[in-house]
């Protein structure tokens, strides 16, 4: 007796099962395919509805056959949907457009940039030496490279803004910001979180502190916030604005090793009075090894900078050693949690 193979289009070939290992091995292919469709503006061309690969190719200056194959593969990852010979964006794929709220286009371009690809290629050396793969590839630390390459610095700032847009809303909504006083956002980028805080608390004033070239592109210039904020450029390793009632430190500590985190925290502590609150916004890894989305980000820190994601106990140790007392940790809908601390009355450690 013979059997006839099932040749229906939706019937998988015998043994055609994707294992987790196989999916991981293809990871860089998916990433580069995402980058390719962004570079050619494919998602933007689908803003008004489905189009065929031929139509998309003509409008984007690409070739229809390879484009169809790329989109067909990315459809299996939930970014596109194919029906009746045409492709449409899914909800997830919409984030690849440049003109939508919460766009992840800049973030995807950053994490698929050669800076990250070359860093990842050096992970075998990182395991042997402990040195970031980025420094092996480029010969300088990551942030020094950004300072020397304005186009990469702009990409980084744009990615951080797009990556944290929704997160800023989630974070601000999870914390009761004061109705008055001054909040100082240390290393606050373009001020997305500060804008959310000031918007929610009309009596609050704010200071945005970061590199001069970063704060120059701030997001605070709205009529609603007029007269309630100022920007200041500087280096949080040496000095920060004094006199604030609440200090924010969002997604900063994970960029640095412990000794540099202590330098940053002690710089802040010297600028504030006892009792001043500090709100550290960072991912808090579970101590029991259970899954968490920041575990992958921890590897990005390993290969690009000398920072790391930390557990609650590790944050408490840093805070205690720099003159702060941990009060509580508040989870949010975002990847990050809110780590609330208070400046103690003890002398600031050197």
Q: In the chain, which ranges are continuous DSSP H helix?
A: 20-25, 27-39, 42-45, 53-60, 64-75, 105-111, 114-121, 123-129, 133-138, 142-148, 150-173, 192-200, 212-215, 258-271, 294-304, 312-321
Q: Which of 40, 145, 254, 292 is catalytic?
A: 254
Which of these, 187, 184, 240, lies nearest to 210 by C-alpha position? 187
* Cα–Cα distance measured from residue 281 to residue 171, given in angstroms and rounded to the nearest whole number: 8
Long-range CB contact pairs, 27-32, < 8 A, 24+? 28/117, 28/120, 30/73, 30/74, 30/77, 31/111, 31/112, 32/112
Token pair in block for residue 80: 């596109």
Active site residue 254: yes
Contact 52, 87 (CB under 8 A): yes
Q: What are the catalytic residues? A: 254
């Amino acid at each position: 007796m013979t059997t006839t193979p099932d040749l229906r289009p939706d019937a998988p070939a015998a043994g055609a099962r994707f294992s987790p290992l196989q999916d991981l091995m293809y990871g860089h292919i998916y990433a580069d395919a995402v980058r390719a469709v962004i570079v050619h503006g494919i998602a933007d061309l689908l803003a008004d509805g489905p189009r065929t690969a031929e139509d998309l190719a003509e409008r984007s200056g690409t070739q229809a056959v390879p484009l169809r194959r790329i989109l067909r593969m990315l459809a299996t990852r939930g970014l596109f949907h194919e029906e009746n010979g045409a492709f449409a964006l899914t909800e997830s794929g919409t984030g690849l457009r440049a003109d939508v709220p919460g766009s992840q286009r800049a973030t995807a371009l950053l994490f698929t940039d050669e800076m990250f690809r070359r860093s990842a290629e050096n992970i075998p050396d990182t395991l042997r030496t402990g040195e970031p793969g980025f420094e092996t590839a480029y010969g300088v630390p990551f942030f020094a490279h950004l300072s020397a390459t304005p186009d990469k610095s702009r990409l980084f700032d744009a990615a951080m803004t797009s990556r944290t847009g929704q997160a800023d809303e989630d974070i601000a909504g999870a914390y009761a910001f004061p109705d008055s006083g001054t909040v100082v956002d240390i290393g606050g980028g373009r001020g997305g979180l500060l804008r959310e805080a000031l918007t929610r608390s009309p009596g609050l004033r704010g200071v945005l502190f970061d590199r001069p070239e970063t704060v120059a592109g701030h997001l605070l210039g709205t009529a609603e916030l007029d007269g309630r904020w100022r920007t200041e450029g500087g280096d949080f390793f040496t000095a920060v604005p004094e006199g604030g009632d609440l200090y924010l430190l969002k997604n900063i500590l994970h960029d640095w090793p412990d000794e540099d985190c202590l330098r940053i925290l002690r710089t802040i502590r010297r600028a504030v009075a006892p009792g001043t609150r500090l709100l550290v916004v960072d991912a808090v890894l579970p101590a029991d090894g259970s899954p968490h989305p920041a575990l992958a980000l921890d590897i990005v820190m390993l290969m690009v900078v000398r920072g790391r994601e930390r557990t609650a106990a590790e944050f408490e140790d840093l805070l205690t050693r720099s003159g702060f007392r941990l009060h509580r940790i508040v989870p949010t809908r975002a990847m990050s949690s809110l780590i609330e601390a208070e400046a103690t009355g003890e002398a600031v450690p050197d």
